[in-house]
Amino acid sequence: MRFMRPAPGASGRSQTLFAITRCLPFVVLAAVLSIELSPAHTLYTGSLLSPAPALAAVTMGPFGSAGVALLAAAICGITTAHNDAWGSEVVYANLLALVVVAVASVATSAVRVRRDRELAHIRRIAEVSQNVVLRPLPARMGVVNTASVYMAAERGAQIGGDLYEAMSTRYGVRLIVGDVRGKGLAAVRSAAAVVGAFREAVHYEQDLAEVMHRCAAALGREYELLDRSQFQDPQELEEQFVTVLLAQVSEESLVHLINRGHPPPLVMRGRKVRSLDPVRPLPPLGLEDFLAPPPIRVETFPFLPGDRLLLHTDGVVEARNHYNEFFPLHRTMETLDGATPSEYLDGLRHALVRHAEGRLSDDAAMVLIERVIGGAGRPVL
């Protein structure tokens, strides 16, 4: 499983910009020293020394900023003595400005370093939360090989409202893919509630419809506990829902599906891709008070050895380029190669990022399973 930001090249550009910014104070100091010691010196550049500590504070800690300030003061002393400018009011004014900027820069860099440490701690906590909701999937589960990828739309984020899980049970391999409407903590809590109910129910409920009922009940309890004060518009609370797709693959060459308002999965046989659309569409979880769902019926489709099934969230099919064109998922799947599900899904991820030009408007999750040709895996109970 891979967790990706949408723009893989952004990290390299950021590192280059960081390196340039870090060198900038020394470039300024070297330029001042060169000009002041030059025989052709006609312009006093001592005032350019003051910004050096401020520039250092952007990328350095308090000790680095203080070091640049001391270096600037030393250069000021050397150049002033060289040009025999001691006693000038301009020199003393520049020294005073350098001292003031240096003190402010050291204090600012100390605050920034402390905040960076706090942010790093928060990110470590986020990684733990990520592993709770989106745990890594093994490469082989029962009668299928698996691969997964999650891409957060927000740079620096690793978890949002998308969810997925796959578990090997006595009834076969069972999977869930879902998408919570909205963002923030409320979306993460809703995703965790649905995934938690799925992980428990798949081992005890033989009927896949009962697994869906357990997920709906868990989401209902979570909505009852939501803090209403975090919603500025009361209508936002009424519009909270989760689209969910359940799938089950057993020893038979079939896949059983229940779709509650989620994008249909795509099955690939050879080079042909087909959408497994539900015969009787069902509303998403959380809308039962507004749209009473009909009795849930499990729909069954052929899933032969060698077939691949892609479960995904709407962030994949709704990704757009600068021409406002949606990502052509069907056509892209038919043109990709990949010996293993992991290699194939990696190629699909690269194609998605290229199409969106590194800017996803929504989180995107994909789970790919491949029916094993010959032999059956032993379920993990």
Domains and CATH numbers, the chain: 2-126 (no CATH), 137-371 (3.60.40.10)
Query: How high is the pLDDT of residue 40?
Result: 58
Over residues 243-267, the pLDDT tens digits come to: 999 999 988 999 999 999 999 999 9
pLDDT at 140 over 90: yes
Residue at token pair 């990110």: 123
Q: Confidence band (pLDDT; 50, 70, 90) for 214?
A: very high
What is the structure's pLDDT at 247? 97
344 — pLDDT class (breaks 50, 70, 90)? very high
Q: What local confidence, expressed as pLDDT, does residue 56 receive?
A: 87
For position 286, what pLDDT does the model report?
Answer: 86
How far is Cα 46 from Cα 123, in angstroms, rounded to an integer?
A: 42
Asked whether the predicted pLDDT for residue 3 surpasses 50, the reply is no
pLDDT score recorded for residue 196: 92
- pLDDT for the residue numbered 243: 95
Residue 16 pLDDT level (bands cut at 50, 70, 90): confident
If we measure between CA atoms, which residue out of 36, 34, 56, 54 comes closest to residue 45?
A: 36
CB 165 within 8 A of CB 175: yes
Given a contact cutoff of 8 angstroms between Cβ atoms, the answer to whether 285 and 340 are in contact is no
**Residue range 329-353: mean pLDDT, rounded:** 93
Of all residues in the chain, the percent with pLDDT exceeding 70 is: 81
Confidence of residue 379 (pLDDT cuts 50, 70, 90): very low
* Residue 129 tokens, joined: 């939360």
Q: Which residues contact 143 (CB under 8 A, 6 or more apart)?
A: 172, 173, 249, 250, 251, 371, 372, 376, 377
Name the token pair of 357.
Answer: 């030009």
Say what the pLDDT of residue 119 is: 81
Token pair belonging to 361: 């408007």
Question: pTM for the complete prediction?
Answer: 0.71
**pLDDT greater than 90 at residue 168:** yes
> Measured between alpha carbons, how far is 349 from 364 in angstroms, rounded to an integer?
10
Percentage of the chain exceeding pLDDT 90 = 39
Confidence (pLDDT) at 132: 66
- pLDDT of 159 strictly over 90: no
What pLDDT was estimated at residue 129? 65
Report pLDDT digits (tens) over 73-105.
888 888 777 777 666 777 778 788 888 888 988
